[in-house]
Amino acid sequence: MFQSKPRIPNETLANWQRIVDLISRLTDVPASLVMQTDAPDHSVFVTSRGPENPYEVGRKFTLNERLYCYGVLKNDGELVVEDATCDPVWADNDDMEHGMRFYVGYPLKWPDGDVFGTICVLDRRRNRKALMFRDGLMEFARVIEADLQLLSEIEERKRLEAALQTALDQMEQRVEERTADLEEANTALRVLLNNVEMSRDEYDAKVLGQIKGLVLPHLGKLRSRLKADAAASAYLEIIDENLRAISASMSNRLTTMFETLTPSEQEIAQLIIHGQTTKDIARTLSREPSTVEFHRNNIRKKLGLQRSGQNLRSMLRSMQ
């Protein structure tokens, strides 16, 4: 079902004008008309051009039983009146004002079944040519209805395109709003994470400062006093190593981790960070690959990566 009836464009009107003019010439009638119905009005929409045609475009009639076209619409089909003066039903019809006693007409409909109007021919005499041309007149009616079909399809396509564009615009608006919401949420999340990171770093730095400033100096003094006690010295070394391990795990700085490495391990760690393989490092440092591999294993052990499967270079880069 089409939502609305489209306007008839000038190009289509020009085609219909040629049709009614051709019908008038072929049937030798003074009037060939396309009528438009907008109840209760029935008006001349297109009229053939000729000096004997009394019907002008825009002339309106009120639909009633004394109007030929009313009979077409009532029958929903062909109406033929060969001589109204001999037919009591049509003897006093409105078109007799102009002496139009001969009539042939057919309904015109929109593709959804609604009435557009009629196509008809009228004459002041019984017209044999027009009677024989009835099939042709019906075909011209189909041509006009085909135009109405095309216009309706174009109108429907425009309506659907407009609806689709509206839906796309609404979807785009929702996407923009959703994107803005996500960006705002991401910004808030980044701020939160930064605050958490800063708080964690501040806490770690505070604890590290306390360990280095308040604990490690006293361990040094204890170490010098407990040299003679082997068992006490061993426990002291364990405490010292554990404190340094805790300090290393709490610091996110590569320099802090490097403090736990030997000079050779530091050198190799820097080359690993820059993407060099064991063979590359061996060539660079003029050492055996087995020696480089030994130091790599020690670095992994100090970072707690034994049997973890984690990439050593990735870990070192994450600590930068």
3-state secondary structure of 246: helix
Q: What is the DSSP string of 71-85?
A: HHHHHTS-EEES-GG
- Helix then strand count (H, E) for the chain reads 11, 6
For residue 195 the two structure tokens come to 């605050």
- Alpha-carbon distance of 229 to 235, in angstroms, equals 10
pLDDT of residue 2: 42
Residuewise pLDDT in 10s, the chain (320 residues) = 345 689 999 999 999 999 999 999 999 999 999 999 998 999 999 999 999 999 999 999 999 999 999 999 999 999 999 999 999 999 999 999 999 999 999 999 999 999 999 999 999 999 999 999 999 999 999 999 999 999 999 998 988 998 899 999 999 999 999 988 888 888 888 888 877 777 776 776 677 766 766 676 777 777 777 777 776 777 677 787 777 767 666 555 556 667 778 888 888 888 888 888 999 889 888 889 999 899 988 888 888 777 777 788 887 777 75
- Alpha-carbon distance of 79 to 83, in angstroms, equals 12
For residue 210 the two structure tokens come to 């306390």
For residue 36 the two structure tokens come to 């438009």
pLDDT of residue 201: 65
Under CATH, which number does the domain 10-155 receive?
3.30.450.40
- Alpha-carbon distance of 59 to 71, in angstroms, equals 19
- Alpha-carbon distance of 39 to 61, in angstroms, equals 10
Q: Tell me which fold the domain 253-320 belongs to.
A: Arc Repressor Mutant, subunit A (1.10.10)
Place of tokens 């006009």: 144
- Alpha-carbon distance of 102 to 131, in angstroms, equals 10
Contact 289, 280 (CB under 8 A): no
Angle at 182 between CA 178 and CA 187, to 5 degrees: 150
Domain edges within the chain: 10-155, 253-320
Contact 81, 68 (CB under 8 A): yes
- Alpha-carbon distance of 157 to 151, in angstroms, equals 10
The sign of the torsion formed by the CA atoms of 161, 163, 168, 172 equals positive
For residue 253 the two structure tokens come to 């700085």
